[in-house]
Every structure is written in structure tokens, then in C-alpha cells.
């Protein structure tokens, strides 16, 4: 067994000591945080905008417009708009405004024309228009001001009408063993998506790493030297466990970072102006986390043994390339059914994908993120996965034993069958 | 003391060709044994069967008294250098050496100590902490040689150890092989370079087309293949000498190498004494009379001819 440890240690260190490992470990959580936070931040373009308001409109509309535009956004303390009101007409002040914009004293101006009630239009001019949110906020402020004036003319108050026509909300929550959980549909989908992608990436990446490592030993004949010192089954086990340990370390570091992110969600949310729930949605209950790691490890070992066979059967990385796509196909299938799995985690497709050992490592975590899956299904899926792993590892060991010591051309399927029978 | 390695009627057949056919040989302990042959003769296949990398189809192999296919443990007492070289490219030189030594059961601290001593000896001390991939091919080969010998194996099996080394490093390799033999280790190596074999080997086995051509002690092989040829050198060229050589009917062949230097051949079994007595009676003083020993290269060419170089083919391991 000490030989397995020696090989495990070497494979582990060779991976962990690379720049790629360190970068990947740090970059993935950053990427995750960026996915959650950046869109919100970028869309809001929080920098200050200085506008002139050319007010030609009937009395009251200008004040209401300025009031609505400079009201702080929900959750923020101040508005990002600085406005100054200039009396019209536009023709008299246009040149001066343009000059100030060129001199960068102003970002733009909004004209509220005299016939705004009839034409239903305001003009917005700026050096840089500033994205959809600026346009949306100007439209919303102008609409409020104009609607309020129209309502006043027929004898109604804006607040009164707004209260009458306010939209109805849908309060959604999942029912779990512990009762109701507050996650909404969007965050469920997001969690399923992130977990599926992470699983896929990890299994594919580290599986290929096993393959390359087998191929390296085969092509430069290290395998011949190793095989004279160690049983080939120890060799394969040590290699897969070593690469798996590196993967596990990476996953655990990510887990710690995600726990930090979630427990600090309020602070982070306030700092970046994001909904705390958006961050909390990626938090995972400890029992689910343990199951996820079990699926990851079993899935990795299953695919790693197949990748090891691939590495032992081919003679160059070019030969391996087309075949490794075939190998990864079952991993990819659950991603094709992503929407279905998240939307209907108890449906037939979801159940089948969750039981088939080659799709389960990705499909089950997705289902589990979407809904509480019955324990019996999880147990059945894990048992099938473990069984498939034992059978595959056994066959892989036989092919591996002959494959790593064979030279010449690529092995055909027929060769593999012969090898399994011989070994 | 029993033989270190014995092969009896060992054969390996692939779908399209016979790689090794009915090969028998025996390697005495503590000897330096060369397996010689042209490319594709079956040298590597033979060594790979001994190392249990590929399975033989027929015959018996006994390595240190046991069959390596049944008792794999015996292979730990062997240091094997494959024909195509390779190490983990991303590892540090010293770490690679320690890794392989530990796999063979050497404690890590001893492996480090001795690894450093070997690096010193091979002139690689300054590369200790360099990554393998930064070393030149020759340097990598020396590192690999260290990994082969560091665990002090009883037997060294080296497949074409000289290939790819410059003359200086071939010298280093030769010294280490001689050293190993002096320490009582058995060294078995394959080569197609007859000069190297001649310098090193005590025993040789020449194979071609998967079959043994001849084997035995190098001295005996030479003796058995020397023929009845002699070198005759006179003090100076003379018409009498030329007339004598040309007129001597018993000579099967005569070649004038220089005006005063002749190479002649007597019928097999004829003693040279009579010829020497006649030469002594000539008026021209005799300078040298010497039996010609064939070089290994000549023996090799005489037996193997210009054997066609076999193609490399697929070789599944079938362990």
C-alpha cells in the first residue's frame, strides 16, 4: 500500500504545485461572485450624472420631474443625478448648453416642451447616453410628472390612482422537510446551474488530467519502469486517488470561500449594492453538501477510470482528442436538460437521468438544488453509481495493465476485448 | 552459484511476424553480458519479456532463480533502463530520483543522500533542483541511469544504454558499468554497436531475425571464429619474399596489404608451424608473424550479413 501512497503523493503534488491549480482555485469563486454581482453593478453605472432641465412645460410638471428623478433609488442614500433647472425656450439656451457639455461641465440636458401633455414626449440629449437604466429612469420620472398633471386636470391624485392599480405579487417558496424555504425560482435555477457547471468542469478537467498523465507515462516508457516496481492496479489506483485528492482540495477551498461569501452576504451586498438573497441563494445546506461531494467523488472516480483506459489505449494526445469527446458526452447530457431538471425535478426525464450512473453525478446535484429529492431515490442512485464504478474500475484495471505497456498503433475495440480476456 | 538469467526456448510471436524464436541463453552471475544484433533483431523484445512487460508465448525464463512472470517481486532486485527514455518532465531532478528509489523500497533520506552523490559523480550536481524538462537529452539520460542503479540492484538490464550519448558520456557510462560489475552486479545490455560490446562484454549473444546466431564468452567466440589467417611482415619488401608467398600452394588466399605486409590464409586445421619455418629460412628477415583475431564486428557481419532491418510493428503487452 505504501507504493499507492507514493504514487498518490506524486500525482497530488504535481497538480497542486502548478500555477494553473492556484489560479483556478482563486479564479472560480471570483468568477462566481462576478456573475452574481457584476451585472447589477454594471447596469447601474453608479457614477454621478449632471443634467440641465430646460423647463418649458406648464407649471408643476418641471418640479415633479426633478423630484422624481432625484429621489434616491431603493436601498441607496442619495440620487446619482445632479440637476439644475433652466428656464426656456430651448433655442435661447441651446448653444450655451452645448458649449458647457463640450467643456465637460454638464453630461446632458432634458427638455420638457410646452406641449408635453399633448405630444407625450420629452427630449434627452447627452454626450454619452449612459445605458438603458438612465433612459428608463428619465422615462419613468417624465411619465410620473406628466401623468400626475393629467390626473390633476381631471381631479384625481397620483398616489390615489397608484394605490388603486398597484400590481399583485406572487410569494413563492419551496416546501421541504423542514417546512418552507424562502428561495425563489430564479435562485433555485441559478444554484442548479452553478452546481452542474462546476461538477461538469471538475470531472472533465481532472478526468482529462488522469488521461494525460497515463499517456505521458505510456509514451515515455516510465510505465515500463513503474510496472517492474509496482502492481499496475496500484499504479492506476494511486494515480486516480492522487488526482482526485487535488480536485477535492480545490472543491473544499471553494466550499470555504462560498461559506464565507454567504455568511458575509449582508456586508457584501451592501458594499456592491446587490440583493443579499442573490448571494445567499448559492449557500447549500451541510447535508446536501456532503451528498454533493459524494456524487462528485464517485462521478470523478467513474470517469477517471474511463479516462485512464483511454490514455492506455491510445498512443498520442491527438488520437485521444476525438475519443475524449465521446467519453464526456454522458456528462453533457444533463446540461442539455438543464431547464427541465430545474423546472420539473420530479419528472420522468429527471428521474431517469438521476439513476443512470453516467449522468447521475451531474443530474442528481441539479435535482437536489431544485427540490428535496426522496432519500430512496438518492440511495438508489448512489448505489447504482457505486456499482458502475466497481465494474468500470475492474475492467479498466485489466485494459490499463496491458495498454500502458503496449507500443505501436492505437488499440481497437477488438483489442480491448482481447486485453480484458487476457489480463 | 547458479546463473543469474536463463532463457530456454523462449518465443514471442505477433500476428504478422516472429519477434523471438526459440531463444536460449544463460548469463553467469557477476558478468557483463551483451545481447547484440541489428535493429529489429528481437533484442528489446527479449529484454521486455525478461522484465515481464510482454508475455512470452513459449519457453522458460529464470531470473535470479525464479520466473519473473510468476514472482514479480524479483523485478524489484533489477534495475531496468528501457530503450526509449523518459522521466516526469515537470519534476525536479532530485525528486524524480527519490521517487523511483522509494518505489524500489529505498528510504527517502538515503535516496536523497545517494542521489546527490550520483549527481555529483555524473557532473549534474548543479542541476539538482532544476526541472527535468530544462535538461538536455543527454543529461536526462544520465538522470535516468541514476534512477536505474540507485537502489543497488543485483542485476542491471539496460536496453541500448549507449544510444544518444556523446563520446564523453559513453565513457562515463562505461566506467559505471565496469564499476557495477566490480561490485558483483550482473549487467545485461543490448546494443547494435559492436565496438562498445567489444570493450565491455565478457559474454555475448548475437541474435538476428529473432534467432540466436551464436553466444558464449567473448574470448571463446573470437577463438571459434578466428579462422586460420596470419599476418606476415618482412623487414623490407623484396622479390624473394613476394615469390615465396605467391609460390606457396598451401595458402588459400593471399593479400598484399603493403609492399612488405601480407595477409594469408591456411586451410582450416593446418598448423602454422611449417609455414613459419619456411619463412625463417628466407634471406629476407621476418619482422612479424601473427594470427589474425577477428573483431566482433567481423564475426557479426560474417554471421548476420547485412540483415534486412525489420519494420517496427505493433507490440501489445499481453502481460
| Residue of A357 and A290 predicted with greater confidence | A357
Give the Cα separation of B240 and B220 in Å (integer): 37
Write down the ipTM of this complex: 0.77
Helix axes of B167-182 and B137-149: crossing angle, nearest 10 degrees: 0
Give the Cα separation of B143 and B146 in Å (integer): 5
Of B72, B87, B104, the CB nearest to A222: B87
Asked whether the beta carbons of residue B319 and residue A224 sit closer than 8 angstroms, the reply is no
Looking at residue A163, its pLDDT comes to 83
Looking at residue B308, its pLDDT comes to 42
Of B75, B84, B102, the CB nearest to A228: B75
How many beta-carbon pairs below 8 A join chains A and B? Answer: 87
Asked whether the beta carbons of residue B53 and residue A224 sit closer than 8 angstroms, the reply is yes
Helix axes of A413-422 and A375-403: crossing angle, nearest 10 degrees: 90
Is the per-residue pLDDT at B270 higher than 90?
Answer: no
A1, A225, A232, A242: which to substitute to probe chain B, counting the most B Cβ within 10 Å?
A225
Give the Cα separation of B273 and B264 in Å (integer): 14
Question: Closest Cα to residue A276, out of A177, A172, A182, A180?
Answer: A182
Identify all chain B residues contacting A238, using CB atoms and an 8 Å cutoff. none
Most confidently modeled of A42-46, A384-388, B197-201, B211-215?
A384-388
Asked whether the beta carbons of residue B313 and residue A219 sit closer than 8 angstroms, the reply is no
Looking at residue A391, its pLDDT comes to 93
Tens of pLDDT, residue by residue over A320-376, are 888 888 888 888 888 888 888 877 888 888 899 999 999 999 999 888 877 788 889
Residue A139's CB is within 10 A of a number of other CB atoms, namely 12
Max distance between CA atoms of chain A, in angstroms, equals: 97
Looking at residue A173, its pLDDT comes to 67
Q: For residue A370, give every residue at least 6 positions away whose Cβ sits within 8 Å of its Cβ, in sequence order, or none.
A: A188, A189, A192, A341, A342, A343, A345
Q: Are A300 and A207 in contact (CB under 8 A)?
A: yes
Return the HEC string of chain A.
CHHHHHHHHHHHHHHHCCHHHHHHHHHHHHHHHHHHHHHHHHHHCCCCEEEEEEECCCCCHHHHHHHHHHCCCCCCCCCCEEEEEEECCHHHHHHHHHHHHHCCCCCEEEEECCCHHHHCCCEEEECCCCHHHHHHHHHHHHHHHHHHHHHHHCCCCHHHHHHHHCCCCCCCCEEECCEEECCCHHHHHHHHHHHHHHHHHHHHHHHHHHHHHHHHHHHCCHHHHHHCCCCHHHHHHHHHHHHHHHHHHHHHHHHHHHHHHHHCHHHHHHHHCCCHHHHHCCCCCHHHHHHHHHHHHHHHHHHHHHHHHHHHHCCCHHHHHHHHHHHHHHHHHHHHCHHHHHHCCCCHHHHHHHHCCCCHHHHHHHHHHHCCCCHHHHHHHHHHHHHHHHHHHHHHHHHHHHHCCCECCCCCHHHHHHHHHHC
Asked whether the beta carbons of residue B72 and residue A224 sit closer than 8 angstroms, the reply is no
Structure confidence at residue B5 as a pLDDT band (50, 70, 90): very high
C-alpha cell recorded at residue A150: 393629467
Identify all chain B residues contacting A419, using CB atoms and an 8 Å cutoff. 316, 318
Residues in B lying within 8 Å of A, measured between beta carbons:
48, 51-54, 72, 75-76, 78, 80, 82-91, 99-100, 102-104, 147-148, 312-319
Instruction: State the sign of the Cα–Cα–Cα–Cα dihedral B196, B199, B203, B204.
Output: positive
Asked whether the beta carbons of residue A408 and residue B314 sit closer than 8 angstroms, the reply is yes
Structure confidence at residue A13 as a pLDDT band (50, 70, 90): very high
Question: Closest Cα to residue A323, out of A335, A333, A314, A334?
Answer: A314
Residues in A lying within 8 Å of B, measured between beta carbons:
3, 6-7, 10, 14, 18, 216, 219-222, 224-232, 401-409, 411, 415, 418-419, 422-423
Question: How many Å lie between the alpha carbon of B26 and the closest alpha carbon of chain A?
Answer: 21
B55, B79, B86, B108: which to substitute to probe chain A, counting the most A Cβ within 10 Å?
B86
Looking at residues A134-143, what average pLDDT do you find? Answer: 86
Q: Are B205 and B299 in contact (CB under 8 A)?
A: no
The residue written with cell numbers 467519453 in the block is A327
Asked whether the beta carbons of residue B82 and residue A225 sit closer than 8 angstroms, the reply is yes
Identify all chain A residues contacting B80, using CB atoms and an 8 Å cutoff. 224-225, 228
Asked whether the beta carbons of residue A229 and residue B76 sit closer than 8 angstroms, the reply is yes
Identify all chain A residues contacting B318, using CB atoms and an 8 Å cutoff. 402, 419, 422
Q: Which residue of B has its CA nearest to A412?
A: B316
pTM (whole model) above 0.90: no
Structure confidence at residue A32 as a pLDDT band (50, 70, 90): confident
Instruction: Please name the helix (run of DSSP H) or strand (run of DSSP E) that holds residue B287, with its range, or none.
Output: strand B286-291
Q: For residue A132, give every residue at least 6 positions away whose Cβ sits within 8 Å of its Cβ, in sequence order, or none.
A: A43
Amino acid at each position: 500500500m505504501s507504493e499507492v501512497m507514493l504514487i498518490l503523493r506524486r500525482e497530488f503534488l504535481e497538480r497542486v504545485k502548478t500555477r494553473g491549480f492556484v489560479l483556478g482555485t482563486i479564479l472560480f469563486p471570483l468568477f462566481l461572485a462576478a456573475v452574481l454581482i457584476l451585472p447589477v453593478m454594471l447596469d447601474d453605472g453608479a457614477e454621478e450624472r449632471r443634467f440641465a432641465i430646460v423647463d418649458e412645460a406648464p407649471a408643476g410638471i418641471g418640479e415633479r420631474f426633478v423630484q422624481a428623478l432625484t429621489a434616491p433609488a431603493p436601498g441607496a442614500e442619495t440620487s446619482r443625478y445632479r440637476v439644475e433647472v433652466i428656464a426656456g425656450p430651448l433655442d435661447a439656451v441651446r448653444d450655451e448648453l452645448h458649449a458647457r457639455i463640450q467643456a465637460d461641465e454638464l453630461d446632458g440636458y432634458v427638455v420638457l416642451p410646452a406641449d408635453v401633455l399633448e405630444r407625450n414626449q420629452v427630449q434627452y440629449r447627452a454626450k454619452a447616453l449612459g445605458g438603458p437604466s438612465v433612459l428608463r429612469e428619465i422615462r419613468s420620472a417624465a411619465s410620473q410628472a406628466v401623468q400626475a398633471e393629467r390626473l390633476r386636470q381631471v381631479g384625481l391624485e397620483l398616489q390615489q390612482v397608484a394605490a388603486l392599480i398597484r400590481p399583485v405579487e406572487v410569494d413563492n417558496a419551496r416546501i421541504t422537510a423542514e417546512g418552507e424555504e424562502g428561495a425563489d425560482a430564479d435562485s433555485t435555477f441559478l444554484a442548479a446551474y452553478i452546481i452542474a457547471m462546476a461538477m461538469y468542469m471538475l470531472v472533465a478537467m481532472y478526468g482529462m488530467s488522469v488521461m494525460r498523465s497515463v499517456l505521458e507515462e505510456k509514451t515515455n516508457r516510465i510505465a515500463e519502469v513503474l510496472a517492474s516496481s509496482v502492481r499496475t492496479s496500484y499504479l492506476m489506483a494511486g494515480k486516480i486517488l492522487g488526482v482526485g485528492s487535488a480536485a477535492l482540495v480545490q472543491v473544499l477551498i471553494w466550499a470555504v470561500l462560498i461559506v464565507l461569501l454567504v455568511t458575509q452576504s449582508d456586508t457584501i451586498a451592501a458594499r456592491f449594492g446587490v440583493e443579499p438573497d442573490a448571494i445567499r441563494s448559492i449557500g447549500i445546506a451541510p447535508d446536501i453538501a456532503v451528498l454533493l461531494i459524494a456524487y462528485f467523488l464517485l462521478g470523478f472516480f467513474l470517469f477517471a477510470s474511463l479516462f485512464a483506459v483511454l490514455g492506455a489505449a491510445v498512443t498520442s494526445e491527438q488520437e485521444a482528442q476525438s475519443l475524449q469527446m465521446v467519453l464526456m458526452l454522458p456528462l453533457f447530457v444533463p446540461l442539455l436538460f438543464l431547464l427541465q431538471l430545474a423546472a420539473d425535478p420530479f419528472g420522468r426525464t429527471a428521474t431517469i437521468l438521476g439513476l443512470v450512473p453516467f449522468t447521475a453525478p451531474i443530474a442528481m446535484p441539479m435535482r437536489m438544488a431544485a427540490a428535496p429529492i426522496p432519500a430512496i431515490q438518492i440511495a438508489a442512485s448512489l448505489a447504482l453509481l457505486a456499482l458502475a464504478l466497481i465494474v468500470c474500475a475492474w475492467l479498466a484495471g485489466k485494459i490499463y495493465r496491458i495498454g500502458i505497456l503496449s507500443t505501436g498503433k492505437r488499440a481497437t475495440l477488438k483489442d480491448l476485448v482481447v486485453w480484458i480476456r487476457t489480463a | 552459484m547458479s546463473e543469474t538469467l536463463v532463457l530456454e526456448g523462449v518465443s514471442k510471436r505477433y500476428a504478422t511476424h516472429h519477434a523471438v524464436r526459440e531463444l536460449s541463453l544463460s548469463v553467469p552471475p557477476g558478468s557483463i553480458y551483451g545481447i547484440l544484433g541489428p535493429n529489429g533483431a528481437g533484442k528489446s523484445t527479449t529484454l521486455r519479456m525478461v522484465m515481464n512487460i510482454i508475455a512470452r508465448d513459449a519457453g522458460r525464463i529464470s531470473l535470479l532463480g525464479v520466473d519473473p512472470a510468476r514472482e514479480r517481486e524479483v523485478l524489484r532486485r533489477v534495475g531496468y533502463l528501457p530503450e526509449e527514455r523518459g522521466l516526469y518532465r515537470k519534476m525536479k531532478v532530485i525528486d524524480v530520483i527519490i521517487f523511483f528509489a522509494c518505489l524500489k523500497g529505498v528510504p527517502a533520506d538515503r535516496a536523497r543522500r545517494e542521489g546527490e552523490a550520483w549527481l555529483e559523480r555524473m557532473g549534474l550536481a548543479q542541476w539538482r533542483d532544476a526541472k527535468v524538462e530544462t535538461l538536455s537529452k543527454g543529461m536526462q539520460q544520465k538522470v535516468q541511469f541514476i534512477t536505474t542503479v540507485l537502489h543497488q540492484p543485483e542485476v542491471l538490464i539496460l536496453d541500448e544504454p549507449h544510444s544518444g550519448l556523446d563520446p564523453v558520456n559513453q565513457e562515463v557510462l562505461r566506467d559505471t558499468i565496469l564499476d557495477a560489475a566490480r561490485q558483483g552486479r550482473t549487467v545485461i545490455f543490448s546494443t547494435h554497436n559492436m565496438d562498445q560490446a567489444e570493450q565491455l562484454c565478457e559474454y555475448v549473444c548475437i541474435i538476428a531475425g529473432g534467432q540466436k546466431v551464436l553466444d558464449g564468452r567473448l574470448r571463446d567466440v573470437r577463438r571459434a571464429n578466428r579462422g586460420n589467417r596470419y599476418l606476415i611482415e618482412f623487414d623490407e619488401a623484396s622479390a624473394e619474399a613476394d615469390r615465396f608467398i605467391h609460390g606457396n600452394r598451401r595458402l588459400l588466399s593471399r593479400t598484399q596489404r603493403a609492399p612488405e605486409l601480407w595477409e594469408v590464409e591456411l586451410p582450416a586445421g593446418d598448423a602454422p608451424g611449417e609455414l613459419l619455418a619456411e619463412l625463417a629460412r628466407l634471406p629476407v628477415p621476418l619482422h612479424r608473424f601473427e594470427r589474425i583475431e577477428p573483431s566482433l564486428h567481423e564475426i557479426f557481419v560474417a554471421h548476420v550479413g547485412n540483415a534486412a532491418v525489420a519494420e517496427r510493428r505493433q507490440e501489445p503487452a499481453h502481460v
